Structure 1
């Protein structure tokens, strides 16, 4: 798993990482200096930042740190460019010799990731352009057995039906490529769900959320919101729902009963 790591200066000291469910962003500091390029005043190109040599470095390769996955609020889970691509970009300072990882080191890395104890996590804007990156993201999602608040905005996701989020109460899946409610993860405790700016065409499969404690749902800018009785259909499928697209349930959002419908027909005749 790749994580966005930032360094501040050559002699910066380590800073204790905040817990995952706080609003303070993570800052990982390291005293290592790996081939930082010197500024060039004649090139006309902005000089690399002091942390530039760390931008493709996994957090597990830092010499001094005590960071766990459950402490990181916005990790980078996708893999960086290949060594060949970095070479042709002229990013030689980001190339490091890879040592063979033992089974013990793999287990230590697994424990350090600690995704099972994560409660709040933002995995948005991951730029998952490669199949390996998508699978790596799903690998982490399968370990989030205690997460209650999860953001997956703008990740080009198409199908998470094999994922189960047993304790998730708030899930943001905005700006992805879902076309059906059947592609959503299993989330029996969901209360707040955002699916705006996807490509969900119909309300088929929405009833799967009928027995969940879902209170608010956002479906704006999906094709399924075009029918005139859109709001009535959504609320009829989700009796516990209190808010749709940021608007509280209104009396007119309830489908007319059969008796009232027959009465109107008789009146017209």
Structure 2
């Protein structure tokens, strides 16, 4: 018996139902069902050499839930989706995993539009996008693309994403924002949050309270700044 990356136990090659490593938690469904792709065979030829055979999910490890077939899960149904994209083409060639590029190159404009509708970020009211591992620029850009679509989100968690500047992002309905453990150095780098009530900025690198006055025009009730350098500023509490 072998334990796959998704936590499922597989026995030899008799287990053919593939589960994507990108599967997310369905927040609204009372009975959570697995998301199954239409092609359940093993498409790739590259896998961990320590394993005697490739895991059933190996060929789907870089696919998001939108790329899997035979399901109608929408973005606003997900509470903790993993939105980090797969490696770049150059990195896949270096890893000798170029077989995963075939599906990417065959995507049509119609499929792109269908994917946008399926993501449905515009209708998300509560979302957790923490721990996304945004190590490359194209990952950060994809992440910001999604943030720009969150026009109705009210509660948003962006913990530990190495974020530095979201000043170009506007979250018009956000009431609760958690951006703990990022790399913000100023309030001016935060997104536009006119309706914010609870803001948590713990464990960032905010050295000055400059820009905090912008929050006077919001219905802010609580602000968490623990473990930021600004705590050592003279008259910190008073300011």
TM-score of the superposed pair, with normalisation by structure 1: 0.71
Q: 2:35 corresponds to which residue?
A: 28
Q: Deviations over 1:173-197 (max 9, x none)?
A: 1111111001111111111111111
Contact 2:163 2:183 in 1 (8 A): yes
Contact 2:36 2:68 in 1 (8 A): no
44 and 55 in structure 1: CA distance in 2 versus 1, 3 angstrom threshold: closer
Pick the aligned partner of 1:193 from 181, 193, 199: 199
The 5 A counterparts of 1:25-174 are: 27-30=34-37, 32-35=39-42, 49-89=55-95, 91=97, 94=100, 96-174=102-180
SS at match of 1:182: helix
Q: 1:261 corresponds to which residue?
A: none
Give the alignment's Cα RMSD to 1 decimal: 3.2
137 and 204 in structure 1: CA distance in 2 versus 1, 3 angstrom threshold: same
SS at match of 1:231: coil
Q: Deviations over 1:137-172 (max 9, x none)?
A: 111111101101111111111111111111111111
Larger radius of gyration: 1
Shift of 1:93: 6.7
Contact 2:18 2:56 in 1 (8 A): no
Relative to structure 2, which stretch is displaced further, 162-171 or 126-135? 126-135
Q: Deviations over 1:83-113 (max 9, x none)?
A: 4433443556745443433332222221111
Contact 1:7 1:30 in 2 (8 A): no
Contact 1:120 1:148 in 2 (8 A): yes
Contact 2:66 2:119 in 1 (8 A): no
131 and 83 in structure 1: CA distance in 2 versus 1, 3 angstrom threshold: closer
TM-score of the superposed pair, with normalisation by structure 2: 0.79
Unaligned runs of 5+ in 1: 234-269
1:209 aligns with 2:212: no
97 and 143 in structure 1: CA distance in 2 versus 1, 3 angstrom threshold: closer
Unaligned runs of 5+ in 2: 9-14
SS at match of 2:199: strand
Contact 2:184 2:204 in 1 (8 A): yes
Whole-angstrom CA distance in 2 between matches of 1:162 and 1:44: 45
Q: 2:12 corresponds to which residue?
A: none
Whole-angstrom CA distance in 2 between matches of 1:191 and 1:24: 33
Length, aligned pairs only: 223
27 and 175 in structure 1: CA distance in 2 versus 1, 3 angstrom threshold: farther
Contact 2:79 2:128 in 1 (8 A): yes
Whole-angstrom CA distance in 2 between matches of 1:131 and 1:106: 21
